[in-house]
Amino acid sequence: MTISGLTGTLLLAAVAFNFLSPELGGKPTKAERVAFVQTGHYRDGEFQNLQPTAVMTGGSTISTMWKFLTQTAPHADPPGPLPWQKLDSLTITQKTPDLVRVTWFGHSASLVEIAGQNLLLDPMLSIGMGPARWATPKRYNPELAIRPEQLPPIAAVLISHDHYDHLDYQTVQKIKDKVGLFCVPLGIGAHLRAWGVAPEHIREVSWGDSVRLPGLTLISTPSRHFSGRGLGNRNTTLWTSWVMQAPNKRLFYTGDGGYGTHFAAIGRQYGPFDLALVECGQYNADWAQIHMEPEQSVQAALDVRARVMLPVHWGAFTEARHPWNEPVRRALAAAAAHPDLLLTTPRLGQPVVLGNPLPQERWWEELSSKSNP
């Protein structure tokens, strides 16, 4: 297919989706858009990053898409399903008040148990992604450590931004009746309302806003990214990182985004952190300002003053032209120069419990030896 033919097909599909698919979500009201201006982060109908940021740094969106479709990196996908540990849903309901436990499901989806509360971070818990699943990356594993229906009541779902690999319509439909609050950046409430989530269960935040739960404070902090789920709505919703602050423990989640000075500012104001879940994967020179390379991910963990780094945003989908296991290999090499920072590398579904020995098995090496160098 020629580039023009491919482009035309994609545009037709996008237009049809834009009008027909419920996965697109909703649109902020005029009154909401007026209120967005008061944050100081919204201008000319779009949210803005703290520092100048180009979404594409290596050409146009169309040329970048063409390269992604036609140029595959060696070992972009693993040779088979990744090793995983099935999560016993009963153990989630059995916790001591001081337990801090983080369970990563692949990509950025994670369960955080802290201060007696269950939090879900960017719960993309579907096998396929988005409305056109024939055209989007497929999850490496045909099964997750736990199905959304098996999860216990969730005090809060924390969403970092509205891209399909972080805000999943299908997952929201399956969990919305067991979630106390959906804590989301400004504008994303419109998506949730369109999907049947009651407004009283939605809390929209700007950078610096906080949400209080019993024994726990959730704080929205800046990230360097962009947003949008369809034609004509880029940057109409905000993107964020999250601080999870209990009396004796502090956790941080970067969400998606490029490296920037905001990390050091977050570290000064809210750190140190006992553990940081840090984006580490799906990077490329063509979008260098909106996703971090692994060495930058390690530096971000150092900037926020994290004691433990859990690399996320890998281990589920191939969304960039690098080997599937390169993010964790490069992050480990970079962290080796910083003995005060520990990397934990759990299998999918393997809990990380603060105060216990950290999972540090290099499980990908055995899998990689089947086909990767």
Element containing residue 175 per DSSP (H, E): helix 169-175
Amino acid letter, 28: P
Cβ density class 336-358: b for 16+ within 10 Å, e for less: eeeeebbbbbbbbbbbbebeeeb
Distance CA 200, CA 137 (A): 34
What is the predicted pLDDT for the residue at 136?
80
Q: The tokens 């880029």 sit on which residue?
A: 234
Task: DSSP for 116-164, please give it.
Answer: TEEEEES----SS-SS-TTTSPPPSSSS-SS-GGG---EEEEE----ST
Q: Where are the domains of the chain?
A: 26-370
What is the predicted pLDDT for the residue at 109?
98
What is the predicted pLDDT for the residue at 368?
67
Q: The tokens 């296991």 sit on which residue?
A: 325
* CATH numeric code, 26-370: 3.60.15.10
Q: Confirm if 168 and 107 have CB atoms less than 8 A apart.
A: no
Cis peptide before 272 (omega within 30 of 0): yes
Q: Confirm if 363 and 83 have CB atoms less than 8 A apart.
A: yes
Q: Is 67 helix (H, G, I), strand (E, B) or coil?
A: helix
What is the predicted pLDDT for the residue at 335?
98
The closest alpha carbon to 297, from 267, 259, 271, belongs to: 259
Distance CA 143, CA 164 (A): 19
The closest alpha carbon to 211, from 239, 247, 243, belongs to: 243
Q: Confirm if 317 and 138 have CB atoms less than 8 A apart.
A: yes
What is the predicted pLDDT for the residue at 91?
87
What is the predicted pLDDT for the residue at 2?
45
pLDDT cut 70: percent of the chain above it: 90
Q: Is 27 helix (H, G, I), strand (E, B) or coil?
A: coil
What is the predicted pLDDT for the residue at 269?
98
What is the predicted pLDDT for the residue at 372?
43
Residue 332 class from Cβ within 10 Å (0-12 exposed, 13-18 middle, 19+ buried)? middle
Write the pLDDT tens digit of every residue in 261-319. 999 999 999 999 999 999 999 999 999 999 999 999 999 999 999 999 999 999 999 99
What is the predicted pLDDT for the residue at 130?
80
What is the predicted pLDDT for the residue at 193?
98
Task: Give the residue ranges of the chain where pLDDT is below 70.
Answer: 1-19, 63-66, 68-69, 134, 368-373
Q: Confirm if 169 and 22 have CB atoms less than 8 A apart.
A: yes
What is the predicted pLDDT for the residue at 42?
98
Question: For residue 235, what are its two tokens?
Answer: 């940057």
What is the predicted pLDDT for the residue at 132?
74
Distance CA 312, CA 123 (A): 13
What is the predicted pLDDT for the residue at 369?
63
> Global pTM?
0.93
Q: The tokens 């599909």 sit on which residue?
A: 13
